[in-house]
Amino acid sequence: MTHPLVTRLTTELGWRNLTDMTGIAEFIEAPGVHVLFVPGDASRNLETPDVAVILPELHMAFQGRFDCAVVDDAVEAEVRERSGVFKTPSLIFYREGELIGAIPKVRDWSEYVQRISQITAQPIAAE
């Protein structure tokens, strides 16, 4: 069962709920920076609701420099396996399909700001 604060991200804020790997690929491969929110099991992980509240605030603080989507339970394990980010909840950052960073677990606001600034400043890898 999805936590109400995670559900709010898709129902009230209109973020995409990504339920298959095709949808995830389309989301992360689009131009720009994208964040996959991998919530994990909120009934066992008490940090999940906290990150569900913090992420919209970070999105506003960074004035839309990245967009966000929620990874559905159905594909969460595959996303964690492919990204190598196994701890949840986690924020996994991509730019045009390339993994550029991740922030697992709850962090202090200042650490989020510092790490997101570093992650989003990463140049696109040369082809």
- C-alpha span between 30 and 118 (Å, rounded): 20
Please check whether residue 2 is in contact with residue 17, taking contact to mean a CB–CB distance below 8 angstroms.
no
- C-alpha span between 97 and 101 (Å, rounded): 12
Closest residue by Cα to residue 87 from 74, 73, 105: 105
Size (the chain), residues? 127
- Domain definitions of the chain by residue range: 4-107
- Indicate whether 46 pLDDT > 60: yes
Q: If you average pLDDT over residues 2-21, what whole number do you get?
A: 96
Q: Give this prediction's pTM.
A: 0.94
The CATH H-level (homologous superfamily) assignment of domain 4-107 is Glutaredoxin (3.40.30.10)
pLDDT of res. 1: 65
pLDDT of res. 56: 97
pLDDT digits (tens, 9 = 90+) for 51-103: 999 999 999 999 989 999 999 999 999 999 999 999 999 999 999 999 999 99
Residue 46 CB partners (closer than 8 Å, separation 6+): none
DSSP character for 122?
P
Neighbours of 51 (CB within 10 A): 27
- Indicate whether 113 pLDDT > 80: yes
pLDDT of res. 123: 72
Written as one letter, the residue type at 62 is F
- C-alpha span between 110 and 40 (Å, rounded): 23
pLDDT of res. 122: 79
